[in-house]
Structure 1
Amino acid sequence: MKAVSSSVRTAKTPAGCIEYTLERKKVKNINLRVRRDGTVYVSAPSRVPVREIESFIAAKCSYIKQAQEHFRSRTETAAKERRFAQGAAVMHLGRPMELCMVQSAAESVTAEGQRIVIALRDSSDLTRAERLYAKWLDGRCREVFTNLMREIYPQFAAMGVPFPQLKIRAMKARWGSCHYTKGMIVLNRYLIEAPLHCIAHVVAHEFCHFIYPNHSRDFYSLLDRVCPHWRSDKAELERLVVL
């Protein structure tokens, strides 16, 4: 579906002013969604007047505020869980792991059972330990994401898609993006916290954008074909990993 127009507006509601992004699209009804970052997105047919849209938002204001508070609380909880400390719990490929700093003449980071062991000369030097862990995690992201891209790619090679470049970034509002004109996929560093099948659905999603650089019906038809369980994978990912 091609957007006719997009604008950022503010609606007055019984719960106070609510800023929202309005997209005019070829849809039958007014649709409202609160995103994980707390922003409000509304799509509506071009024929529906703004006053009717804002009446709809006002009627949904309690739900909007509750959803925004829910996402804010989840984000704060995730930030606390990601604090770096001896014995802290971190998620890695869908499994809870314990950070363990140990003293050693040789520096290394290894995953051992339910622990991620960080060996360094001074086990109390959390700044150095965190740097070692971050470097190791970046390597794990590149290894895991690249392997998944190689597994999924043959389906798209048959459609004439060149194997894309991979970039990894820490992002707060999306799991990935496709720069189809540059032949590049960007994946969120936090995906490494999720099970492999959840990461795979994001990779498949971004590959589909090389064929359909939008979220049209054809795009979702292709995604259904290459990743039939993407809806449940997406729901699980959003339940397990908070951006």
Structure 2
Amino acid sequence: MSTERYTLKVGDLDAEIVLKPIRNLHIGVYPPDGRVRVAAPASMTRAAVQGALALRLVWIRHRIMEFQRQQRETPREYRAGESHWHMGRRYRLRAVGHGRSNAVATRGHYIEVTVRGSPSSRKVASAIEQWRRVDLAERAKPIIAYWAHRLGTDVPDVGIKRMSTRWGTCSIQSKRVWLNLALSRLPPSCLNYVSLHEVAHLLVPNHSADFLALLDAHMPDWRAAKAMLSELPYSHSGTV
């Protein structure tokens, strides 16, 4: 039985497409990292497969979030080979000691951590957290600036911190948006939504109909992103 394979990008997700002599399309999301695999009829065009994936995107993200939540329910020990999520992708941890300074980077399927001295769990954890803070801030600042320009308001300052009940907050008086450090583990679409949400509060400080209309006008699918976030333990029944 002959098959053709290719990779298709839908939003920020990569799906493996396998064309087979079958009649119907099947979409699977598989543990442990939420790998997306599609079995499609051999006669189905790429555009048609992409359209089918787009229609099921909310369900696909929901399944991926379930796998991520299962991973996060187990406390991290910051040991070599352990799974860690970054920007919605699953990586294995690779720790190296005796460096001149702490350094963290993603290479292939690994998060590589170099620390000064022996790579103890405490040192590795500290290095990764600092890296996440810097990386998230660098990613967030241009997104926040983009939405501020789109909404016609001043660009606020951006801060990163741990939060137990919210994904982000906005201080109208100080014109500062705070983002939850945990967003560094989630897909870019989550950061994009939270950024818009908080910038929108500079114009409308509550969650009134005017606020919701503002979100609808600039991000029609924002409810899908919010639903994804509500499935994760970082929200703790709080609101974004």
Question: Would the TM-score normalized by the shorter structure come out above 0.5?
Answer: yes
Matching residue of 2:91: 97
Equivalent residues of 1:104, 1:120 under 8 A apart = yes
Number of equivalences: 166
Q: Counterpart of 2:74 in 1: which secondary structure?
A: helix
**CA shift at 1:238, angstroms?**
3.2
Deviations 1:23-73 (A, max 9, x none): xxxxxxxxxxxxxxxxxxxxxxxxxxxxxxxxxxxxxxxxxxxxxxxxxxx
Deviations 1:171-221 (A, max 9, x none): 111111111122111111101111111111111111111111011011100
Residue in structure 2 matching 1:85, options 76, 79, 86 = 79
5+ residue gaps, structure 1, are 1-73
What CA RMSD, in Å, does the superposition of the two structures yield over aligned residues?
Answer: 2.1
Matching residue of 1:197: 189
Matching residue of 1:112: 107
Mark the CA change 1:207 to 1:114 in structure 2 (over 3 Å): closer, same or farther.
same
- Would you say 1:144 and 2:139 are equivalent positions? yes
**CA shift at 1:137, angstroms?**
1.2
Q: Which deviates further from its counterpart, 102-111 or 77-86?
A: 77-86
Q: Percent identical across equivalent pairs?
A: 27
Matching residue of 1:153: 148
Equivalent residues of 1:96, 1:114 under 8 A apart = yes
Query: d(CA) in 2 for partners of 1:75 and 1:93?
Result: 14
**CA shift at 1:111, angstroms?**
0.8
Q: Residue type matched to 1:180 in 2?
A: I
Equivalent residues of 1:81, 1:88 under 8 A apart = no
**Which entry has the higher C-alpha Rg, 1 or 2?**
1
Query: d(CA) in 2 for partners of 1:77 and 1:92?
Result: 12
Q: List aligned pairs for 1:11-26, cutoff 5 A.
A: none
Name segments (4+ residues, structure 1) moved above 3 Å.
74-77, 103-107, 121-124
- Would you say 1:225 and 2:220 are equivalent positions? no
Mark the CA change 1:153 to 1:122 in structure 2 (over 3 Å): closer, same or farther.
same
Equivalent residues of 2:91, 2:111 under 8 A apart = yes
Mark the CA change 1:128 to 1:143 in structure 2 (over 3 Å): closer, same or farther.
same
Q: List aligned pairs for 1:42-53, cutoff 5 A.
A: none
Q: List aligned pairs for 1:39-78, cutoff 5 A.
A: 78=72
**CA shift at 1:103, angstroms?**
3.3
Deviations 1:67-102 (A, max 9, x none): xxxxxxx98962524442222211111101111102
5+ residue gaps, structure 2, are 1-67, 235-240
